[in-house]
Amino acid sequence: MIRVDELTKTFGSKTAVDKVSFTVKRGEVLGFLGPNGAGKSTTMRMITGFLRPTSGSISIDGLLLAEKPVEVRRRLGYLPENAPVYPDMTVEGFLAFCAEARGYRGKSKKLKIGAAIEQCFLAPVVHQRIGTLSKGYRQRVCFAQSILHDPPYLVMDEPTDGLDPNQKHEVREMIRRMSRDKAILLSTHILDEVDAVCQRALIIANGRLIADDTPEGLRRRSSSYGTITLVLGNAVTDRLKKRFEALEEVKEVQVVSQTEAEVILRLIPARREPASAARILSQLEAEQDLLSFAVDRGRLDEIFRSLTGGSNGTGRFTENDQPAGS
């Protein structure tokens, strides 16, 4: 696994990364979230050996990067931010260059390049100059470069940035497929992506780790998590409100909206857990006016904003959101 311990980077008086610690295991995709300038790319550059930490340590499979840089980097693939690739090279030429830099020659070099081209769907553009490619294809070339040597560990800085929805989907599928036998750390600003591919997510703000949890665990902190929204037709609001307030495990009933045609109610369960919502819903079987219902799964964007100081403006931590290790 990748182990990061108390990693710190200062630029002059600015602390870009502040005592960050975490691990990523094989078979796991770890999402790295945080506002612009939070320290994601700086952390990734240190892990991949492109930037020397001010303090703290990084190890892979128990090997310290500071002691065994070559062995550690051999196990790593890195997709940097903004796909920096040589514009004058052809796709094939660039991948050949990367393969040689990784020490491949002859037949094994050809095989590695062929596999990367196939995996990243680059066949239609192999002979094209990189500078003339669309942004999405440039991103794929950079992706191909990062997986060329089939590394067990991948560090990807915004791998789906700038891709169209189809390509985003393709890249996520590729990440999911590869994650079976690799450990992947990926940064993103797309919160849906965290739900789609990550088993766990870190949130970093001002260089400090402020959450390390599963996407479900993060959504659980949302104020709406576990609430039930009911749409009812042809009904009298007061009667309904009373009836639902009398249900077991319902703490509160809020009227979201009412028109002549329908009433929308929100039930706040006494306990915010899926089983509780299921028990409440099972009591509604006989409710003839019920048109539809939904159980809120919580919102990552709400949690992201409240933890990183976006919407509530405080950026303060609650008791449950202390930085790791404090």
Ligand X SMILES: Nc1ncnc2c1ncn2[C@@H]1O[C@H](COP(=O)(O)OP(=O)(O)OP(=O)(O)O)[C@@H](O)[C@H]1O
Which spans of this chain sit near Mg ion (rule: CB under 5 A)? 40-41, 81
The secondary structure of 49-114 as a DSSP string is TSS--SEEEEEETTEETTT-HHHHHHTEEEE-TT----TTSBHHHHHHHHHHHTT--HHHHHHHHH
Binding mask 53-92 for ligand X (x = CB under 6 A): ----------------------------x-----------
Cβ neighbours, 10 Å, residue 70: 7
Which CB, 11 or 86, lies closer to ligand X?
11
Q: Which of 18, 42, 215, 221 binds ligand X (CB under 6 A)?
A: 42
Using CB under 6 A as the binding rule, whether residue 39 contacts ligand X is answered as yes
CA angle 115, 121, 123 (to 5 degrees): 80
* Burial degree of 262 (CB within 10 A; 0-12, 13-18, 19+): middle
Residue 58's DSSP bridge partners are 4
**What does DSSP assign to residue 286?**
T
For residue 132, the minimal CB distance to ligand X (Å) is 26
**Window contacting ligand X (CB under 6 A); options: 31-39, 115-123, 237-245, 304-312:** 31-39
**Interface with ligand X (CB under 6 A), residue from 25, 27, 37, 97:** 37
- 325 lines the binding site for ligand X (CB under 6 A): no
Using the contact rule CB under 6 A, the part of the chain among 36-44, 168-176, 247-255, 317-325 near ligand X is: 36-44
Nearest approach, Cβ of residue 204 and ligand X (Å): 7
**Burial (Cβ within 10 Å: 0-12, 13-18, ≥19) of residue 231:** middle
34 lies in the site for ligand X, by CB under 6 A: yes
Q: CB of 125 within 8 A of CB of 89?
A: no
Least gap, CB of 161 to Mg ion (angstroms): 9
Q: What is the dihedral of CA 93, 99, 104, 106, to 10 degrees?
A: -20
Closer by beta carbon to ligand X, 36 or else 320: 36
Specify the residue, 113 or 204, whose C-beta has the smaller distance to ligand X: 204
Type of residue found at 198: C
Enumerate residues 6+ apart whose C-beta is below 8 A from 15. 8, 9, 207
Which of 142, 277 has the CB closer to ligand X?
142
At 135, which amino acid appears? K
Q: Which partner from the list ligand X, Mg ion, none does 48 bind, CB cut-off 5 to 8 Å by kind? A: none
Binding partner selected for residue 36 from Mg ion, ligand X, none, CB under the kind-specific 5 to 8 Å limit: ligand X
Count, residues near ligand X per rule CB under 6 A: 12
Residues of the shown chain interacting with ligand X in the complex, contacts defined by CB under 6 A: 11, 14, 16, 34, 36-42, 81
